[in-house]
Structure 1
Amino acid sequence: MLKQRIQDDMKSAMKGGDKPRLGVIRLLMAAIKQREVDERIELDDAQILAVLDKMVKQRRDSINQYEQAGRPELAEQEAFEITVLQGYLPEALSEAEIAAMIREAIQATGAESVRDMGKVMGQLKPKMQGRADMGAVSALIKQLLGS
């Protein structure tokens, strides 16, 4: 299970004295625990992937903001956190794989315009969660459906 792997990595980071990595893993465990407490459930791997995906997206947004504000040291910290978090995500899909999956979903749903985008995203999200930047996927769908 993914949660067990994260806990094991946290223990090894503690033993190895890898404080930067340990800090990121603790943030991840706190986010998982927060969601478990809020929803009163034990998260499965798919739900943990959703938490990871959200954390990576937040950090990408922060990098953009820090770079615009002229704070490269903070942007570097966020980039480091992304690399640690991506270690728990499944292998990313290539652009060709993403495009093929989108075309397949458009055919399967019979989508013809941007108004049908929700159907396409609904079919793609479970397959792509944690494996692709859903913002980029959304933009590509709009492009293919002829915004």
Structure 2
Amino acid sequence: MSLVDTISEDMKIAMKARDKDTLSVIRMLKAALMNEKVKVNHELSDEEAQAVITREYKQRKESAEEFAKGNRDDLVKSTEAEIKIVEKYLPQQLTKNEIEKIVADTISETGATSGADFGKVMGAVMPKVKGKADGKLVNQAVKSQLNK
């Protein structure tokens, strides 16, 4: 079953269960997927759908951070609840150790030796971890390992 079909099925389940919170988040995801489908003018592949969901996840993470800075705990809690629902549709995220290992292997492969090689390493690492790791974590891992 494709990711889009899974989301549609989960929407039906949330409707039957009268789970308003889950339903509203799934509807937002479904709307984002439909907008992307119209934009690209074809049915979305699982990879394309994953990119849309990742984008929605990042938006919610950034919103939660901004709400926390503004001392809006009520909005932080609701946004974090949304994040938990969106996370169900993301692939299993890599741990910090796994990211650091991939970065170390990539540094060896590319022959990077200093911070000047940052772009080359990031360009090689990101396709390996696409959808499975937050870019900020990868960025930090590359910087820390190149600056040793």
Extract structure 1 runs of 4+ deviating beyond 3 A: none
Q: Name the Cα RMSD after superposition.
A: 1.7
Q: What residue number does 1:31 align with?
A: 32
What residue identity is the alignment partner of 2:45?
D
Q: 1:115 & 1:10 partners in 2: Cα distance?
A: 48
SS in 2 for 1:112: coil
CA contact (8 A) 2:99 2:141 kept: no
Contact 1:52 1:130 (C-alpha < 8 Å) held by counterparts: no
Structure 2 gap segments, 5+ residues each:
none
> How big is the shift at 1:87?
0.5
Aligned-pair distance for 1:62?
0.9
For 1:3-42, what aligned pairs fall within 5 Å after superposition? 3-42=4-43
Give the whole-Å Cα distance in 2 for the aligned partners of 1:41 and 1:126: 24
Relative to 1, partners in 2 of residues 1:73 and 1:99: Cα closer, same or farther, differing over 3 Å? same
TM-score, length basis structure 2 = 0.90
Taking a change above 3 Å as real, the CA distance of residues 90 and 40 of structure 1, as seen in their structure-2 partners, is same
Partner of 1:49: 50
Partner of 1:59: 60
Deviation of 1:5 after TM superposition, in Å, equals: 0.8
Q: How many angstroms apart in 1 are the aligned matches of 2:35 and 2:53?
A: 13
CA-CA distance at 1:113 after TM superposition: 2.8
Instruction: State the one-letter code of the partner of 2:35.
Output: Q
Please list, as runs of the form range in 1=range in 2, the aligned pairs for 1:1-147 lying within 5 A after superposition: 1-146=2-147
- Contact between 1:117 and 1:141, CA under 8 Å: does it hold in 2? yes
The sequence identity of aligned pairs, in percent, is 38
Matched length: 147
TM-superposed deviation, 1:41: 3.0
